[in-house]
Structure formats: structure tokens, C-alpha cells
Amino acid sequence: MPHAPAATAPLPLALRTLPVAALALAATLAALALLLASLLGGGELLRTALTEPGSKAFSWQAISRAFGERYMLLGPLLNSLLIAVPTAVLATAIGGALAWLAVRTDFPGRSFVMALVALPHVIPGFQLASAWVEIFANNGLWQALTGLDAPVNAYGAGAILAVTTLHLLLFPYLVVAANLQAADPALEEAARVAGLSPSRVFWRVTLPLARPALLAGLLLVFAYVMEEFGIPSLLGMPRGFDTLTTRIYGLATTPPLDMEGASVLALLLGVLALLVLAAQLRLLRGQRLETLAGKASRQSRVSLGRWRAPVAIGVWAALLAVALAPLLALVLVSLLESWGQGYGPQNWTLARYTALFESEELRRALRNTLWLGAAAAAVATAVAVAVVYAAHRLSGAWRRLAALADRVSFVVFALPGLVVGLDLILAFSGGPLPLYGTVWILLLAYVLRFCGVSVRTVTARLAQIGVELEAAGAVAGLSRLRVIARIVLPLLAPALVGSAVLVFVNTVKEISATSLLVSQGSETLAYEAYVRFQEGNYTQGSALSVATIAMVLVLLGVSRWASRRSEEGRR
């Protein structure tokens, strides 16, 4: 007769409480480190803005000078708004229209629309701007292919507007597409049954239902344009067109340095970003549209009728042009012996790519990029796991501290990269922890900037894991740490991979904070490409850009493959 399984002996109290205390301590340290670095930088930024230059005395001088001199604040602010407002409107209108075509109509090839909309966003903004110059500058690709002068300017406000619009189309597209997929199509069907024409259904039903998503996309694009640095620095500064970000960069890096003035502008830019964030959160809380059916209903498709073919030809031609032309331009220019001296095979060379392995400077930049990306991904994901688990599974003061760190990570992620970079310069240029001038300050900047991405990713996944699974493990005699190791972490694995990939990709592309914090020996591939574009070395800059983009695309592909394998494994 088989023996009954022996009952698991309860763990001694000390052994049961020690793992919980260790977990709480780890979560507390992670939360405190995140909070301390964030608040220390913000405090130093405020102190510097309110300090008299050359002394530690309190003074309104920097603020009054910023508001009193047009070149300091008013001019750059107006230029930023001149770009941000029309870009937000254009990107939202175009992205929303493309989302409607892909989700609600019988547009041919609609499943591939998002991939082409996403490609200009995968390319870092300053590299997209460089491709624009390579296409439309004098002796550029447009002239070489057509023999005609370029129809648009390669530099200036119009160029910035066009490139930022293409770069940020993805945001309103995703927001509006999600809204249209969630909305109950029975509402539109009812309007059709009531006798409304397809155009009236669109204007009276579809558009009002999508209004919250359109407003959210509008605010999101506006915020991103206001904090964009790479595009206006390459397309605007050569024409004397300064935005808030380029003015902050100039004040903080061009001798004689004006850190007080840069701090005032950074504070203003940070406040603007937080106001937009607050407006977005208020919009999400204030909109309660009952658009979801009790049962999943089949999405209806609006027939484009006789317009289907011409709309398809026009839209696909535009999508392919804006998605592939910048990438092809970068690849072609990266193969040239010299830019502007002909684009035929007789002028092609692989020297710009072999320099990645032959030049010690570029090899170091490649090593730094890989190391910083991997380290930032690992640290940000580990901090996110500790903070999120403590905020949602522990209790008492530990939970409140972790919840505060959760919110702070979201706020820091919403801040412009230049603001975060200036924060860290002021906070860690001296004192007990002089990180400025080392590679460690870049790692700290990346973790701070993108920890919010990890926190949001891990939070979404942890919310899907029922606490009864952990309770079952505890009943079986497992300690809290073993429950986490054997149950929680395996179930969190897709989110952990996704978090690491997202942080790595954002780190590889980052240029705003990097441009302020980089020092001799800590350069990244993105920074080296940016410097070469600024110097006019478009061939080497393009090769570095292609290498960066290839790295990003490979990582995104691997992440997508891993996600699919995980989904198949759960089935």
C-alpha cells in the first residue's frame, strides 16, 4: 500500500521572515536609489536657477535675464511652439487617418501599414534628419535622380516640421488604432440602419468616439516635439533657428558656460512636459465612453468602393517613400567614397564599415554602446521588478515607498532628456559622488530615463498574475523568495525580456542626455554618428547610423520572435 506523502514541516519563523525582510530591503534600496538620484538632480537644477552666477547667493538674476532677453527664452520658445503645434496637428491627422484605413476599412494590405509607419520612428530622429539632408541638399540624391532642384529646403523650420511629423506618426496611429479596435462597431451599424450615409457615420459616430484618442495622440506628439533635440540641432542650428532644447544645449556646452540660464530654461521645459503629462492623465480619467460590447463583436469594414484603388495607390506610394527612402539614403551614402561626388558603383566602398573594427575610437564607441545598453537594461529591469513587486505585493511603509518610486519613474521618463542630463551634471559634478566625466553617469542617466518603461512593462504583466498562485506556493512551504524565483519570475519572463529590449533600444538611440554627459572615452555609436553629421562627414555618420538601426531592428525582431514563442508555449 503506497505511503501518504509526508506533510511539509513549517519553516522556522526566522527563516520565514528573513526572506521577506531581504526582499523588502532590496525593494527599499532600489526605490531609494531611484528617488534620491531623481530628487537630487531636480533640487540642484532649481538651486542653480536661483543662484547668482559665480556665487552661492540667492538671486532672481538668471530668471529675469531669461525672461528679459529674447534670444534666451522668448525666441526659442516661440520657435519650439512654431514646430510643435503644427507637427502635433499634422501627425495626429495623418496617423489617425491611417489608423482608420487600417482598422475600419477594406484598405488593401492594411496589416502591413503599422510596420511602415513604425520604421521612421525606429530610426533615431537625428539620423532621420541626416537622411533628409542627404536627399534634399544641393547635389543630394533628389538632384542626382531627377536632375531637378529639390522641391523642399534641406534646412530650416519647414524641414524640421516635415521630419518630426514623419518621425512621430507612430504615436497617434497606435493610440487611434487601439481606440477603433476597442469601440463597438454596433454603434456604427446602428447609425447605418438609421439611414446615415457612410460619410455621416464617420463624422457623427466614428470621429466622436475616436476624439479622446486623437486628443491623447495630439498631446503626446506635442510633448515629444517640445523635447526633441537631435532634429532641430541638425536642421535648425545651421540656419540660426534655435528651439528650447538647442538653446539649453548651447548655454550648457558653449564657453562661456551659462549653467544658470540653462537651468532656468530646463526647468521651464520640464514644467511644460509635466503639464502635458497631467493633461494626458486627466484626459484618460475624464473620458468614460461606453464603447465596448459585452461580447466580442466582429469589426465592420467600411467599403471604399470606387475610391479603393486610387486611395491604395496614393497611400502605399507615400508610405513606401517615407518609410524606405530615409533608410535607403543612409545605406547608399554610407557606401560612398565621398558624398556629393556621384552615387554610382564606381564611388562605392566598404571603408566606412571596416572603420568600425579598425578605428580604436569607433571600436570603443561600439563597446560602450553594447555595454551601456546591456547594463541599463539589466539594472532598469531589476529595479522595476523590486519596485513593482513591493508596490503591489508587500504592505506598510515598504509598499508606500515603492509606490512613490513607481510614480517618480513615470515622471522622470516624461521629462526631456536634456533636462535629465543637466540635472545629473549639476548633481554629480563634485561632492561625494563625482560621476560626471565617467561612463557611470551615462549609465545612471539611461537607467533614470528608461526605468519608467520597465516599471510600466512589469506592472502590466504582474497585474495578470493572480495572487492565489503565490498563496499556493506559500501553502506548499516555499519561502517568499522561492515563490518569486519559482513562480513569479517565470511568469514575468515575457515582460522581463520586453523590458530589457525596450530599454536597450532606447539606450542605443539616445542622444539628448548623451550629448551633455558624454566625455572622452565614453562615446556611444549614436553620439559618434551625431558628431560626424554635425561636422559634415555624412558618409561615416551614415555608416554608424546604419549599424545602429540594424542593431535596433535585430533586437526588435528577436523580441518579437521570443514573444511569439512564449505565446505558443502557453497555448
Tens-digit pLDDT profile for residues 495-518: 888 888 889 989 999 999 999 999
SS (H, E, C) 44-101: HHHHHHCECCCCCCECCHHHHHHHHCCCCCHHHHHHHHHHHHHHHHHHHHHHHHHHHH
Answer yes or no: is 1 within a domain: no
pLDDT at 6: 41
pLDDT at 11: 39
Residue 377: pLDDT band with limits 50, 70, 90: very high
On the CB side of 486, CA atoms within 13 Å amount to 14
pLDDT at 185: 66
Q: Are residues 328 and 457 in the same domain?
A: no
Other CB atoms within 10 A of residue 87 CB: 25
Q: In the chain, how many domains are there?
A: 2
- Local structure of 339: helix, strand or coil: coil
Residue 357's alpha-carbon distances to 171, 376, 386, 539, in angstroms, are 36, 24, 39, 16
Q: What is the CATH number of the domain that holds 228?
A: 1.10.3720.10
Q: pLDDT (tens digit, 9 = 90+) per residue, 264-290?
A: 898 888 888 888 878 877 776 655 444
Residue 215: pLDDT band with limits 50, 70, 90: confident
Among 225, 215, 334, CA closest to 280: 215
**What is the pLDDT averaged over residues 120-130?**
92
Q: Are residues 330 and 381 in the same domain?
A: no
Percent of the chain, pLDDT > 70?
Answer: 82
**What is the pLDDT averaged over residues 454-459?**
86
Answer yes or no: is 294 within a domain: no
pLDDT at 176: 85
Answer yes or no: is 554 within a domain: yes
Answer yes or no: is 241 within a domain: yes
pLDDT at 70: 82
Answer yes or no: is 571 within a domain: yes
Answer yes or no: is 483 within a domain: yes
pLDDT at 293: 45
In the predicted structure, residue 73 carries a pLDDT above the cut 70: yes
Find the domain containing 245 and state its range: 69-287+308-349
Q: Are residues 412 and 275 in the same domain?
A: no
Phi and psi at 336, nearest 5°, equal -85, 145
Among 255, 248, 276, 318, CA closest to 101: 318
Q: Which of 396-405, 431-440, 507-516 has the lowest mean pLDDT?
A: 396-405
Q: Are residues 125 and 145 in the same domain?
A: yes
Distance CA 224, CA 165 (A): 11
- Across 97-106, 195-204, 230-239, the highest mean pLDDT is recorded for 230-239
Q: pLDDT (tens digit, 9 = 90+) per residue, 518-567?
A: 998 899 999 999 999 999 899 999 999 999 999 888 888 877 777 676 65
pLDDT at 22: 59
Of 102 and 487, more confident: 102
Q: Are residues 237 and 363 in the same domain?
A: no
Residue 433: pLDDT band with limits 50, 70, 90: confident
Q: Are residues 277 and 360 in the same domain?
A: no
Q: What residue has cell string 521645459?
A: 269
pLDDT at 20: 52
Of the residues 321, 349, 377, the one at which a domain ends: 349
Q: Are residues 529 and 554 in the same domain?
A: yes
Residue 18: pLDDT band with limits 50, 70, 90: very low
Among 234, 214, 143, 109, CA closest to 530: 234
pLDDT at 390: 81
In the predicted structure, residue 467 carries a pLDDT above the cut 80: no
Q: Are residues 247 and 327 in the same domain?
A: yes
Of the residues 349, 381, 399, the one at which a domain ends: 349
pLDDT at 8: 39
Q: Are residues 195 and 231 in the same domain?
A: yes
pLDDT at 1: 42
Percent of the chain, pLDDT > 90?
Answer: 31
Mean pLDDT rounded to a whole number for the chain: 82
Answer yes or no: is 59 within a domain: no
Q: Are residues 549 and 431 in the same domain?
A: yes
pTM over 0.75? The answer is yes
pLDDT at 86: 96
Q: pLDDT (tens digit, 9 = 90+) per residue, 312-331?
A: 999 999 999 999 999 999 99
In the predicted structure, residue 183 carries a pLDDT above the cut 70: no
Q: Are residues 45 and 120 in the same domain?
A: no
Residue 292: pLDDT band with limits 50, 70, 90: very low
Distance CA 126, CA 544 (A): 12
Answer yes or no: is 299 within a domain: no
Q: Are residues 555 and 489 in the same domain?
A: yes
Among 233, 230, 226, CA closest to 274: 226
